[in-house]
């Protein structure tokens, strides 16, 4: 007997969820509000952002129980040991990230840049390396043996490192942008963490498009982020691949941030036909959200050869799809005793640029 195996991503329905898809009028209205407030967000001071994060911590802590209950009900795991996993991958992760963001903003206000928790060293070839994890004694206890480093681009010196940090907080001459976050996956903290990254790290207001698989979290996300929804810095929309495609091709969307299947990404960016719809000035990438995640880059800043042991090890942490033209530092995550520590992770110069098949927008 032979079994036929189909290749590729699973086939998902256009829309099937607890929330009705947003109409085009609703999506257009959301984008209009964000366009009107994108430069207002850039002008918000560091002190005011700190106050906003304090409000987010209070609001998300207050709804954490309902958040976990909603996840458990949707997945059918209420009254099972898996409830703990929903706490660990949902509100706990987000609240920890918010606390770290709060401390970074305090550091920026007082010192001009976030404090680097570990040593800053210089390799024999002159490349500067900063250890960014563990942050606290709790990190050392719960993540024993795990460290994360940021390997800076050539030309950065240890003395000048602080001048390369928190650039959006040093230079307020840039214009605001509207970013589309395509929220997918059944890990409930992913979309909120992506929202925080776009707003507080890249200075962009956000329209979040919930995926049918996690649309039930939309009202809770909107409630928890009400401090950002009210002033017009965040909007939440709903729908499947068709709604995602509409937003991807909207002229008011200036950057796209995704976490989605290959099929959905292709449909959203290319449309139902076979011809690419090119969008100038669109950066399509997935940013790291966990302190110890590994940034796996391709292109001129590549630090990982395709199919290597390092790539396989890094895939356990995160898949990172980055526009090769963006000059971001390289994050290295290592766990003692793992494949990653068996030999040095190569520097960018050792690997020729490669193409990422599932990274549209190159």
Number of C-beta neighbours around residue 111 at 10 A = 12
Contacts for 248 with CB less than 8 Å, ≥ 6 apart: 180, 182, 256, 268, 269, 279
Residue 307 has pLDDT above 80, yes or no: no
* 209 beta partners: 182, 237
Among candidate residues 208, 315, 192, the one with its CA nearest the CA of residue 256: 208
DSSP 116: P
Residue 243 CA to chain centroid, in angstroms?
21
CA–CA gap between residue 160 and residue 238 (Å, rounded): 44
What is the per-residue pLDDT across 98-133, written as a single tens digit (0 to 9) for each?
999 999 999 999 999 999 999 999 999 999 999 999
For residue 121, the cross-strand partners are 129
Q: What gap in Å lies between CA 261 and CA 291, rounded to an integer? A: 24
| Distances from the Cα of 189 to the Cα of 96, 220, 268, 283, angstroms | 11, 12, 23, 23
The first and second tokens of residue 222, run together, are 């909107």
pLDDT band at 24 (very low <50, low <70, confident <90, very high): very high
Residue 74: is its pLDDT beyond 90? Answer: yes
Residue 173 — pLDDT band, cuts 50, 70, 90?
confident
Q: Sheet of 284-285: strands edge to edge?
A: 234-238, 204-210, 177-183, 255-258, 284-285
pLDDT digits (tens, 9 = 90+) for 128-165: 999 999 999 999 999 999 999 999 999 999 999 999 99
Q: Where are the domains of the chain?
A: 24-350
Q: Please indicate, yes or no, whether the overall pTM of this predicted structure exceeds 0.75.
A: no
pLDDT greater than 80 at residue 362: no
Question: pLDDT-derived band of residue 184, with 50, 70 and 90 as boundaries?
Answer: confident
DSSP 253-265: --EEEE---HHHH
Q: What are phi and psi of 46, to 5 degrees?
A: -60, -40
Average pLDDT over the chain, rounded to whole?
Answer: 77
Q: What is the mean pLDDT of residues 253-275?
A: 60
**What is the pLDDT averaged over residues 222-237?**
98
Q: How far is CA 184 from CA 139, 226, 287, in A?
A: 28, 21, 14
Query: Is the separation of the CB atoms in 247 and 207 below 8 Å?
Result: yes
Q: Which of 14-23, 141-150, 167-176, 197-206 has the lowest mean pLDDT?
A: 14-23
**Chain position carrying tokens 């996690």:** 214
Q: Give the residue among 270, 255, 275, 294 at the shortest CA–CA distance from 360.
A: 270
Mean pLDDT value across residues 347-361? 34
Query: 96 Cβ partners below 8 Å, 6+ apart?
Result: none
CATH number of 24-350, picked from 3.30.9.10, 1.10.10.10, 2.30.40.10, 3.40.605.10:
3.40.605.10
């Amino acid at each position: 007997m032979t079994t036929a195996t189909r290749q590729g991503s699973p086939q998902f329905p256009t829309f099937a969820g607890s929330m009705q898809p947003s109409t085009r009028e609703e999506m257009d209205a959301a984008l209009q509000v964000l366009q009107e407030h994108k430069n207002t967000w850039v002008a918000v001071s560091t002190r005011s952002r700190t106050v906003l994060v304090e409000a987010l911590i209070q609001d998300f802590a207050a709804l954490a129980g309902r958040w976990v209950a909603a996840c458990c009900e949707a997945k059918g795991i209420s009254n099972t040991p898996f409830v703990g996993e929903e706490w660990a991958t949902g509100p706990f992760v987000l609240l920890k990230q918010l606390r770290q963001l709060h401390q970074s903003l305090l550091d920026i206000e007082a010192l001009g840049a976030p404090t680097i928790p570990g040593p800053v060293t210089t390799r024999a070839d002159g490349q500067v390396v900063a250890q960014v994890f563990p942050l606290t004694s709790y990190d050392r206890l719960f993540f024993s043996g795990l460290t994360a480093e940021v390997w800076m681009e050539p030309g950065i010196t240890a003395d000048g490192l602080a001048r390369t940090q928190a650039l959006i907080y040093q230079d307020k001459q840039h214009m605001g942008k509207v970013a589309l976050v395509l929220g997918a996956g059944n890990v409930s903290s992913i979309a909120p963490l992506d929202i925080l990254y776009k707003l507080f790290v890249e200075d962009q207001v956000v329209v979040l498009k919930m995926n049918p698989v996690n649309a039930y979290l939309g009202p809770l996300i909107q409630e928890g982020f009400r401090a950002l929804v009210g002033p017009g810095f965040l909007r939440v929309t709903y729908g499947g691949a068709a709604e995602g495609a509409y937003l991807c091709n909207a002229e008011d969307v200036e950057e796209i941030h995704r976490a989605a299947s290959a099929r959905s990404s292709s449909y959203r960016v290319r449309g139902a036909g076979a011809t690419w719809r090119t969008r100038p000035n669109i950066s399509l990438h997935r940013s790291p959200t966990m302190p110890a995640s590994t940034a796996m880059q391709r292109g001129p800043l590549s630090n990982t050869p395709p199919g290597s042991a390092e790539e396989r090890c890094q895939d356990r942490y995160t898949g990172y799809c980055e526009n090769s033209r963006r000059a971001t530092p390289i994050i290295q995550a290592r766990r003692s005793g793992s494949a990653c520590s068996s030999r040095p992770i190569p520097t960018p110069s050792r690997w020729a640029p490669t193409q990422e098949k599932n990274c549209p927008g190159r």
